[in-house]
Structure 1
């Protein structure tokens, strides 16, 4: 799956800029940035301003500054590019639509457009884009629902959430009991990563158990 397809063009360009800033040693001339992005000065300034705003929640761990001539990127040793990329994916509208479907089973256009602050026509376009991604898994969104075999829906969400490091936070006592029972039943001692994978699969299975439809 090409996870970058979850991003809009602007977000993809911003991630590309961050990568190039790192390669360039943390500093780039604005002319080089404009050439890299293929944008006018006004649009480039707007992209950079939005990027600076998007990174504010990282605090001192990661900072982007722009003085009109140079763009500078500085980060703490414990800050990774993967963390920056993940923040873009988790805040993207397409990801939010997928998570809404996982939680609610069916899209309520009025409610979802209000939550995402987008128009219904924009929502329709994003769903159309998502269907191109979902086609790889034999799935599609149709009339507000995820259509496809239950096993395929589970596999898709598992892959998505595992890639983004989501969905296997602290286990509940019941979940711990289930995993321990599996270990005893199989006479195995699961490694930490295996336990996370099992936990994520259990949670995805629980959420998709009553939310699927047959293919049409």
Structure 2
């Protein structure tokens, strides 16, 4: 995968890493710890803090890094988003500016570009070599002043680059022409818009990419590949009729192949609002006519269903999983490369909190199956692994939000009511949030899955329960073992037919 911040020089990469590190540790971090984690000395880190604060001052008077007794704190405001911070760095990066110059002008020549960027010819050549190493994942290269490769891949690259680097509010102003507005209006004019809000922004970027490249470089579409792509749904027919019956779009050359490519990008970039059953039905209809996508879809979806069957999830949830997988698999079949913005500590890595450890191996097995079915080379396999493993992990994680079984926990403490309630409140905060549970004061005429107490006794009125006796409810000593105990009990209950409702 291409990490977005590889477009920065080393000092700026380190400064962004410092911002991300502090974002994850709002209580502050010592200068020494930061220096160790970022492999730099304290003097360098202090200089970085000064440079970061200069960047911050361009965005907000409140944003600031402060140092108190050798501990660094991140003082933030309530209106600046992370992508605005990152863009403040990217927009001044030589490699990023080269790419955006290519986007705006279609090609570069050494003299003009080096003058525009205020760098020497040797520096420009070195930056181009560095860029080409990053572009390998996308199967494109910068050669003789132009991007060379499949038009699908070039558009895919620019959509990802702009999507992950531009602040949202800048996207709305930079890519909002009257023609684009008219197309967006077609997709969203109805009572139930076809696109999500995010999908609409991606459409705007894609349309501007199409128009800019058509005007500057006369791109060649992969016609043979697109001929084999059959879309027969009512949704695609609506799109086809719209472009064919609008003479105002003739200058954009929205041929049938362009319409297919637009539809493919909307699906593979998760632009459609799939909460609407008709949208899901149309995308499903078209997927069935695309053999590579459908064969991948059937194989992976069946494997996920098998792995989640013990948890008796609802039909509605599996419908959601199915349409999500179709979008993932369109992307896996037709596009190569992706851009990671969070590095090694981002949202995909936060999915380490999967409900069961075995789901890690499930995700890896599914990814390997995709790689094998698509026959990918090693580099493509590694890149695809890094993208879709997170997407599959998200499905397993979301599954547990759709389980409608709650672990009933009764608390029986030998304390007066007020003190017992304080301990119950503390338990509520400390029990693993992955578990769906309800905790309450023990009542002997009620049934519980778990009874937590600070003394052992037999509960003759309970028919199927487990007991956990806390060593010391006043302290945190018991919580690691309690959470392991509750996790095992929870998953055992989920797999027990006598304790679980059937899917709706």
Fold-level match, TM-score > 0.5? yes
**Residue 176 of structure 1 pairs with residue 177 of structure 2:** no
1:208 aligns with 2:213: yes
Instruction: Return the TM-score normalized by structure 2.
Output: 0.38
Secondary structure in 2 matching 1:60: coil
Structure 1 segment 1-216 matched on structure 2, within 5 A: 1-2=1-2, 3-25=4-26, 27-66=28-67, 69-165=70-166, 168-170=171-173, 171-181=176-186, 189-191=193-195, 192-209=197-214, 210-211=216-217
TM-score, with structure 1 as normaliser: 0.82
Aligned mates of 2:65, 2:191 — CA distance in 1: 51
Deviation string, structure 1 residues 179-199 (Cα, Å, up to 9, x no partner): 334568x99733333322222
Q: Is the 8 A contact 2:101 2:108 kept in 1?
A: yes
Residue 211 of structure 1 and its aligned partner are, at CA, apart by 2.1
Structure number, greater radius of gyration: 2
Shift of 1:66: 4.5
User: Gaps (5+ residues) in structure 1?
Assistant: none
User: Contact 1:146 / 1:212 at 8 angstroms: preserved in 2?
Assistant: no
Q: Deviations over 1:66-97 (max 9, x none)?
A: 47944332001233334322332333221111
Distance 2:63 2:191 in 1: 45
Task: State the SS of the aligned residue for 2:73.
Answer: strand
Counterpart CA distance in 1 for 2:37 and 2:108 is 38
Q: Secondary structure at the match of 1:91?
A: coil
d(CA) in 2 for partners of 1:213, 1:181: 25
Counterpart Cα distance in 1 of 2:110 and 2:119: 10
Unpaired segments of 5 or more residues in structure 2? 221-504
Runs of 4+ in 1 over 4 A off after TM superposition: 181-184
How many pairs were matched up?
A: 213
Report the more deviating stretch, 121-130 or 191-200. Answer: 191-200
Q: Which moved more, 1:161-170 or 1:47-56?
A: 161-170
Q: Secondary structure at the match of 1:71?
A: strand
Cα distance in 2 for partners of 1:91, 1:189 equals 37
For residues 77 and 168 of structure 1, do their structure 2 counterparts lie closer, same or farther at Cα, with a shift above 3 Å needed?
Answer: closer
RMSD after superposition: 2.9
Report how far residue 174 of structure 1 moved.
2.5
| C-alpha distance after superposition, 1:30-78 (max 9, x if no partner) | 3333223322344333322222222220222411234794433200123
Deviation at 1:146, TM superposition (A): 1.1
What is the deviation of 1:201?
1.1
Compared with structure 1, are the counterparts of its residues 26 and 88 closer, same or farther at alpha carbon in structure 2 (3 Å cutoff)? farther
Q: Is the Cα contact below 8 Å between 2:28 and 2:72 reproduced in 1? A: yes
Checking the alignment, whether the CA contact within 8 Å between 1:13 and 1:37 is kept in structure 2 is: yes
Say which structure, 1 or 2, has more relative contact order (CA 8 Å, 6+ apart): 1
Over 3 Å counting, the alpha-carbon distance change for 1:46 and 1:114 in structure 2 is farther
Label 1:82 to 1:182 Cα distance change in 2 as closer, same or farther (>3 A): closer
SS of residue in 2 equivalent to 1:118 = coil
SS in 2 for 1:65: strand
Q: Which residue in 1 is equivalent to 2:501?
A: none
Please give the alpha-carbon distance, in whole angstroms, between the structure 2 residues aligned to 1:212 and 1:130: 23
In structure 1, the partner of 2:311 is none
Check whether the contact 1:6–1:89 (CA below 8 A) recurs between aligned residues. yes
CA apart distance, 1:148: 1.5
User: What SS does the aligned partner of 1:169 have?
Assistant: helix
